[in-house]
Amino acid sequence: MTPARAPLDGLRVLAISQFGAGPFGTTVLADLGAEVIKIEDPSVGGDISRYVPPWAGDGDSLYFQSFNRGKKSLTLDLRHPRGREVLHALVRVSHAVYNNLRGDQPGKLGLTYEALRGVNPGIVCCSLSGFGTTGPRAPEPAYDYLIQGYAGYMAVTGEPDGPPGKCGVSVIDFAGGYASMLGLMVGLWDAQRTGVGRDVDVSLLDTAVSMLSYFAIWTLNRDWEPVRVEDSGHQTLVPAQNFATRDGWIVIFCNKEKFWASLVDAIGAGDLARDPRFQTFDARLRNKAALLEILRPRFLARTTADWLGRLRGRVPCAPVNSVRQALEDAQVRAREMILEVKHPRHGTLREVASPIKTDGAITAPAPAPALGEHTDAILRDTLHYSPERIAALRASGALGDPRRTEESP
């Protein structure tokens, strides 16, 4: 059979982004076949994530590899007049310009639709910033860690008697990456219909606030304030939390009455289903302390594996895995969520795959590129520049030195 064509084959995106959120998002596009041209600032050694430890050196790192597989790297100084000429030439033959700069930078660097519509009326300009391109904090830098503080996440994470906590992974960076990709594709869909591009403005703070969801509607409309709940418990559902077992922890989530009935049957405590203190959601919430006093010693009596064997298929439950255990999970492997990337220095790298499963998705991507690895090829093959023109650009300083590496860019 003829291999399926990649679903985004033919889509060209110019990406001026670094670190986590933006590169994470554009990797989704690259994994689906888009040509993502990563424009890197030669004056600072390119994307700063090339230098993030551990396992960093020679302008590359495993951190950088995790966010940039399957992309092309072009060094270009967007502040240089001839660098802007190259940018405009690329915009003419591209579909989108994506950045994850501070909110005040796209306008200054000419990466907005207003600045580029004369070059390509159909270009879609997507910006993912910390705070957006408007508002009093638009010029401020922001990172996942800060946004988890701003958006209230830390206030509801951790134990009640402990300090505020953050999610162990950069959940807002990654959610912002996904949200910006959705916004970008919406813009591209409309441009396909109308021939007219647009600006798409996405921020990490907006993304984080939008994910407050039911916390927000309860807080905004009732006299209610979310708090940190013991054992990572749900704000209102009981039992829905972590329980210590003989050898670890298990997550129990009874979000339906039938699951509560199945739980008490599985743990040999059917009388609890008839106890008026625990017969409804509201009753269990009111009598949470009494119920947990009964449940906790029961879970401590058996191992996590034992409980999973008794509860799976009857009650929503999960082990509290380590990261290594999660990556070795049978379902993760069955879904082919670990792929291999051949790297010239690191050898075969195992990485997590795209969560989007569809015919034509790239399953053997190229590694993340060396700094400026594709500069000459893009200028020659995409823009049809002559060797003399490329040499003149390089001599002008517009392209920088793609071999440059810095310990501290």
State the Cα–Cα distance between residues 267 and 250, nearest whole angstrom.
14
CB atoms within 10 A of CB 143: 15
State the Cα–Cα distance between residues 201 and 102, nearest whole angstrom.
12
- Exposed/middle/buried for residue 130 (C-beta within 10 Å: 0-12, 13-18, 19+): buried
Residue 160, preceding peptide bond in cis (omega within 30° of 0): no
State the Cα–Cα distance between residues 140 and 256, nearest whole angstrom.
44
Evaluate whether 248 touches 257 at the Cβ level (below 8 Å): no
Helical residues (DSSP H) of 69-212, grouped into ranges: 81-92, 105-108, 113-116, 144-150, 171-194, 204-210
State the Cα–Cα distance between residues 31 and 355, nearest whole angstrom.
10
Question: What's the CA angle centered on 246, arms 244 and 247, to 5 degrees?
Answer: 90
Long-range contacts of 161-168 (CB under 8 A, 24+ apart): 162/228, 164/228, 165/228
The pair of three-digit structure tokens given for residue 211, joined into one six-digit string:
């994910």
| Phi, psi for residue 75 in degrees, rounded to 5 | -85, 130
Q: How many helices (H) and strands (E) does the chain have?
A: 18, 13
The pair of three-digit structure tokens given for residue 173, joined into one six-digit string:
């960076």
Query: For the residues of 29-89, what is the DSSP string, one character each?
Result: HHHTT-EEEEEE-GGGTS-GGGG-SSSEETTEEHHHHHHHTT-EEEE--TTSHHHHHHHHH
State the Cα–Cα distance between residues 319 and 304, nearest whole angstrom.
7
What are the CA-CA distances from residue 349 to residues 80, 336, 360, 364 (Å)?
36, 15, 22, 11
> Is residue 80 among the annotated active site residues?
no
Catalytic residue among 88, 234, 343, 346: 234
Q: In terms of DSSP bridges, do strands 347-352 and 338-343 run parallel, antiparallel, or are they unpaired?
A: antiparallel
What are the catalytic residues? 234
